[in-house]
Amino acid sequence: MPNSTNQFIRPVTCTVNNQGNLEVGGCDLVELAQKYGTPLYVVDEATLRSVCMDYKCAFSSYEKVNMMYASKALCSMATSAVIASEGFGFDVVSAGEIYTVYKAGADMSKVLFNGNNKSVDELLLALELGVGRISVDNFFELSLLNELAKSKNKTVDILLRITPGIECHTHEYIQTGHLDSKFGFDLTQIDEAVEYIQDSNLKLHGLHAHIGSQIFETKVYEDEIDILIRELARLDEKYSLKLDEINIGGGLGVKYTDSDLPPSTYEIADVILKGLNKAIEKYGVDAPTIFLEPGRSIISTAGVTLYTLGSSKQVPNGRKYFAVDGGMADNARPSMYQAQYTAVIANKPEEKASQTVTIAGRFCESGDILIKDISLPEPEEGDVLCVFNTGAYNYSMASNYNRVEKPAMVLVNNSQSDIIVKRESLDDLISHDVIPDRLKTNV
């Protein structure tokens, strides 16, 4: 089966140019660092579109597929506009994500609102902006949403988020489908939910599950589909309820380091479609529409982060540390999940590695280590470090820890670079601060 973009560490356009520098999207990364400053998030449009194409090709043999991008991996107006232009809808989890994709021009009928504690204001915004599906997570939300739908004299289209009870081998914090999870209805609670929905202002279309993230085994999808289709058949038999949608979530993994071997979108599609056909036959149901909502595998490989190397420290008889001008506030994953990354020095990408160093962040936590024990050619102060595969869950989890401005983001394509998220300024940092009048005399 062909490879797909999520199986590569580097963006598809990544090469070494005539200057001997690394380039992405036809843009010299050292020049980008000079022009826009560092840390800098860089998103390669060609890689992003190539992943979207992989997914579309991989599922092209099945007519009823709704591709959605899970916005939480990276949500900005420009990236949303690119993804929407590929025909994708969006899985969103907050008013902020709903508003961002709306302002980016997304087709709101292709948006699904998901989350385990949506607020009244967020649900109202979803109804007002015409979000296509709401994935209801629990009984509290079921009655809340029904009240809102009644007050607006509307029928609201929903899925039920369920917990299929599947364990997948990934980090505990990013597993979501096992039984003791904070997300979704337990399988034994589905009937009660369905009975509630029967005389409500909610229209149930199908079931939704999501089993985890950074998944490398394909078998879990087959198991998940079997459970979803089994439930569809059971509900039809018990309530004569014809549900024709299943949402199988996201989760496909990416390649952060050489030892990560994620399956391709083609392998995943093969397993999903075979599993689907098998389950359709086994339970005798009509072929449903399937929703997919990958996040990480859509955006991760398209993103790299540029940093400038600063101070260094040799621990006597120990490690050599090099510090960069960013760290856990722009990429929380290493300190949160012990996540590993691959990096090269963008101004000497072809020099032989000569030593092992540890890349430390600049933030006031000992755990703020970006990459432990990486082999690099002689690092020097001022070098530009390019960390690969930072598109997902970096910017979207960024903070202002230590009161540091969040980095800028540029979109590169065909040798052109455009700012898509401005770097925060010092005034941005204090723009929400208020000093009460009674304190002002002291200033």
Show contacts with ligand PLP in window 137-176 (CB under 6 A). Answer: none
72 binds ligand PLP (CB under 6 A): yes
Per DSSP bridges, beta strands 202-208 and 185-186 are unpaired
Binding region for ligand PLP (CB under 6 A) out of 40-48, 122-130, 292-300, 302-310: 292-300
Q: Which of 14, 27, 52, 364 is catalytic?
A: 364
**159 versus 304: smaller Cβ distance to ligand PLP:** 159
**β-strand 384-388 against 22-24: which pairing, if any?**
unpaired
Question: Whole-angstrom Cα distance, residue 86 to residue 147?
Answer: 36
d(CA 214, CA 296): 8
Instruction: Tell me, yes or no, if 386 is annotated catalytic.
Output: no
Query: Which range of residues in 148-156, 243-251, 312-320, 411-419 is near ligand PLP by CB under 6 A?
Result: 243-251
Q: Which of 293, 330, 368, 383 binds ligand PLP (CB under 6 A)?
A: 293
What's the one-letter identity of residue 283?
A: Y
Burial of 98 (0-12, 13-18, 19+ CB in 10 A): buried
Collapse the DSSP code of 197 into the 3-class scheme (helix H, G, I; strand E, B; otherwise coil) and give the result.
helix
Amino acid at 329: A
CB 143, min distance to ligand PLP, A: 22
Q: Is residue 118 close enough to count as binding ligand PLP by CB under 6 A?
A: no
CA of residue 365 relative to chain centroid, distance: 25
Q: Quick check: 132 binds ligand PLP (CB under 6 A)? A: no
Count of residues that bind ligand PLP according to CB under 6 A: 15
Residue 42: strand, helix, or coil: strand
Torsion angle in degrees (nearest 10) through CA of 113, 115, 118, 122: -30
294 binds ligand PLP, rule: CB under 6 A: yes
Burial class (CB in 10 A: 0-12, 13-18, 19+), 403: exposed
Residue 224 touches ligand PLP, criterion: CB under 6 A: no
Question: Can residue 97 be called a binding residue for ligand PLP (CB under 6 A)?
Answer: no
Does position 49 bind ligand PLP by CB under 6 A?
no
Site string for ligand PLP, 301-340 (x = CB under 6 A): ----------------------------------------
Shortest CB 250 distance to ligand PLP, Å:
3
Residue 384 phi, psi (nearest 5): -100, 115
Rounded Cα distance between 262 and 338, Å, is 18
Q: Contact with ligand PLP (CB under 6 A): which of 42, 51, 67, 73?
A: 73
> What span, in angstroms and rounded, lies between the C-alpha atoms of 54 and 68?
14
Q: How far is the CB of 423 from ligand PLP (least distance, A)?
A: 26
> How far apart are alpha carbons 385 and 309 in whole angstroms?
7
If binding is defined by CB under 6 A, does position 125 make contact with ligand PLP? Answer: no
CB of 350 to ligand PLP, least distance (A): 33
Please, which residue, 113 or 307, has the CB nearer to ligand PLP? 113
Pick from 421, 256, 418, 390: which is nearest to 326 by CA?
A: 390
**Which of 133, 210, 255, 406 forms a contact with ligand PLP (CB under 6 A)?**
210
Where along the sequence are the contacts to ligand PLP (CB under 6 A)?
70, 72-73, 91, 114, 210, 213, 249-251, 293-297
Q: List, by residue number, the catalytic residues.
A: 364
